[in-house]
Amino acid sequence: MSRTNLSILLATGLLGVLLWMVDSIVSEYTLMEKVRGFGLGIATPRADPPQPNLGSLENERLDSERAAVEAVTATVKPSRPANDGPRMQSAADLTAFLDGLGLDATLAIRRSRAWFDQLGFLGPTELYGRDAKSSPAQLYKDYDDATLLALAGPGDLGALQTLAAKSAESDPAEAYSWYRQAASYGSVNAMIKIGLLLNRWNQPGLRFGSDPGDRDKVEALLESIVDAEELGLTWIIAAARIGGLPVLRSHDVVVLLQTPVPGSGSEVIETACWQSARLMLKLAGERRARGQVIFAQQPPPVFIGELNLNELLPCQEQVAPIVDTSSCAAQPVMHRPDWPALLWVCLDP
């Protein structure tokens, strides 16, 4: 059985360049009979290597950046899991399963919630026992605008995303700006929201209702963005690169990745795949400039996910996400009748 050894080298120069390389990819997983202990850690920036010579020409600089983040590997992809295994539709199901392995289910669920909170996923999650009323997203909805603006200033993800959601219908440009700020402060959820909104706004049939004012605002925003259609897919793929399998369980996101905007040519998809690497570097530079940890490397202790990231992405090259699942074991579970799923159980490296 092969094992994946994923190493991430974080660095910045004048452009805040993040260098990361991959040795190999996991090709097969089995569920351990008994595993102990969970830990949710955040990767800390490592020492900076000597600044690379990017050359004087723009194309040389772009090639250097691309080489730094692309991981082209030969991956043996196991077959898609069958829709069988234990039922996994609630916190009670998850608790019973983890208890059967001799694990601390309460600790695993709490740390998994915290992991997703840090990436901006603040809504209800049945698997972790969080309903709509008790979710952080609901608490932010109860704040007035003045409170939200005060919290948003230093980068509170809940406040930024709530302001974005409130602006989405009335002022798409403002919503885009709020989500962009949230993404800069570490919200992978905001990255996905940007991608989905741009995808929606680029399809006339899915834009706002019949109000001409709403349509005019969307048109004005799209005119201000170069290649908005391509940019929407870029944000989704960048989210996948940063968050990996744990953040790609949304049906809308998976459908968009597997079936990009109707009429999109291969050139649009190829460019979006490449531009997603540059976007990731830009976000890393913004975070480091504020003294933030660049990206989290460890996955949540338990999560529902797909089998292989590269089966979801439309990119021709293999993509190694920053979140490292090489110490995780996967178990087929019954999560949704129409959607085969795996429960991933992740250990401390």
pLDDT tens readout for residues 255-289: 778 776 555 667 888 889 999 999 999 999 999 99
> Which tokens in the block code for residue 53?
């010579």
Rg (the chain; Cα; Å)? 20
pLDDT the model gives residue 211: 59
pLDDT the model gives residue 196: 87
The contacts of residue 53 (CB under 8 Å, 6+ apart) are none
Rounded to 5°, the CA angle 223-174-138 comes to 140
- For residue 41, the one-letter residue type is G
Which neighbouring-strand residues pair with 321?
Answer: none
pTM to 2 decimal places: 0.73
CB 169 within 8 A of CB 200: no
* Cα 296 versus chain centre, distance: 11
pLDDT the model gives residue 232: 86
The contacts of residue 66 (CB under 8 Å, 6+ apart) are 274, 277, 278
CB 9 within 8 A of CB 60: no
Round to whole Å and give the CA distance between 264 and 267: 8
Closest Cα partner for 118 from 14, 16, 21, 247?
247
CB 273 within 8 A of CB 315: yes
Q: Look at the block and give the residue holding tokens 């998850």.
A: 94
CB 317 within 8 A of CB 45: no
Q: Is 45 left (phi over 0), alpha (psi -120 to 50) or beta?
A: beta
* Cα 26 versus chain centre, distance: 20
Round to whole Å and give the CA distance between 231 and 146: 32
140: three-class secondary structure by DSSP? helix
pLDDT the model gives residue 105: 96
Interval 296-320: pLDDT, tens: 889 999 999 888 888 888 888 888 8
Ranges in the chain, pLDDT < 50: 1-59, 61-80, 349
- For residue 163, the one-letter residue type is L
CB 312 within 8 A of CB 248: yes
- For residue 270, the one-letter residue type is E
DSSP string of 5-47, one letter each residue: -EEEE---STT---EEEE----------S---------PPPPP
Which neighbouring-strand residues pair with 7?
Answer: 21
Domain residue spans of the chain: 6-346
Cα dist from 305 to 45, 80, 182, 293, whole Å: 27, 12, 24, 25
CB 158 within 8 A of CB 151: yes
